[in-house]
Amino acid sequence: MPVAPRWIREQRGLTSVGIMLAVAFTLIVAMAVINLLLYLYGQGATRAAIDEGVRAGSRVAAGEAACLQRSREALHGLMPGPLSDGVTINCLRVGDELIAVADVTLDSPLPGIPSWSFQMQARAVQETGE
């Protein structure tokens, strides 16, 4: 009965190490993709909320208060829970325009991944009813 060479007999278990490294790498890439999608969703939801706010606030007899209220309602509808905690929205009137400004800091649910911060603006012309 032929005996396997020594170098073949000494490589037992080497395949399992390779599989474990491949699984670990796959998990890291999957978590990075999930984190990116979470950030992109937060950006889109914030954009939709401030757009909705300036549309509501720019109507005749509406203003900053209507803009702020509608923006917050839309944001909490799109991003319920702790995801929207890092979003601050302000509405102000400058000349004939209503401007909604969102300061956003999205924290990662995973430790070791930095937060993503950005600012967005939406503008609409204030209707006068004339």
Q: Which of 12-21, 88-97, 108-117, 118-127 has the lowest mean pLDDT?
A: 12-21
Residue 76 counted as domain residue: yes
Q: How many CA atoms lie within 13 A of 7 on its CB side?
A: 0
Q: What percentage of the chain has pLDDT greater than the value 70?
A: 88
Residue 130 counted as domain residue: no
Q: For the residues 24-35, what does the mean pLDDT come to?
A: 88
The structural domain count of the chain equals 1
SS3 content of the chain, % helix, strand, coil (to 5): 55, 20, 25
Tens digits of residue pLDDT in 82-104? 888 889 999 999 888 999 999 99
Q: Which domain holds residue 47?
A: 6-125
Tens digits of residue pLDDT in 45-95? 999 999 999 999 988 888 899 999 999 999 999 998 888 888 999 999 988
